[in-house]
Structure 1
């Protein structure tokens, strides 16, 4: 079966329109989130820090489904977070909750339990800093995330690194000494 010249032109026109439409969709409507390099995180945090802020910790979440980084900072008598993403080669940050530091509390916590859960933790109690070995976050599915407490370091970020199937309104935070004794435990 031979196509007429008019039919060939119509098919070619439809094909060109389909290709142009597909390319326009890919260029305009497609967000592409990429893993941040340590250099990109450093540049962003330096850009955000001012004379009233100090960087406490950063965490690079390199999951393929939700790559981002978290920055924990101290500003005067408050702690807060930024979530940093790289979308189509543009680096953006979203400020999280900033909370006042109450030195009567052993630790201060900020973060989010929805999405990819994380906590920014600021230890105010010197005994916990000196005697603590591990800071740990436990979820309702009994999975745990922990970091080693470093001498004189007060700020930590604990992150699940993936979006859990079931989220909970709270997590257990513990500080454990070198003998596996719990020095501090609280649900947040």
Structure 2
């Protein structure tokens, strides 16, 4: 019976969650399986993989063929590396102690790369947040400047309107003053002097 190591889909729509299983190659993708080897959650970065390492190596040694995606996951977790090292033990080139030592060194190196990736992701996330905050501050400053400018323009318009109203109120008073001025300039007729009266009296006499 041909055996495949493959992914079996679970989870919600848009948020897949996979089981890593050893199953008959003729069975449906999400159908009956022979053994569950682990889980794969791609909804986080980096993805979370929980795998039975020894069980996976055992199935590979018994002739199970992984799919391309399953092979990538097995290689990422070191299953393919351990299978290769155990092949050296079968040929007599390595001892089990050497295999374990080499495999632990590989795991430590892998853990270092993973931690470096996490640090890089956290730094990138922090940088993105800082840039977003700076952009938001710039937008807020522009809005505040625009609001202040609009308020200043509104105040200037109010001042202009008040000045125009004051000018209109003062104009009628000036006109009345101008009209009354000629009347003030009128002088009464000169009264006849006593000298003129005496001359007229003399003529009559």
TM-score computed with the length of structure 2 as normaliser: 0.25
The higher radius of gyration belongs to 2
User: Higher strand proportion, which one?
Assistant: 1
TM-score computed with the length of structure 1 as normaliser: 0.26
User: Higher helix proportion, which one?
Assistant: 2
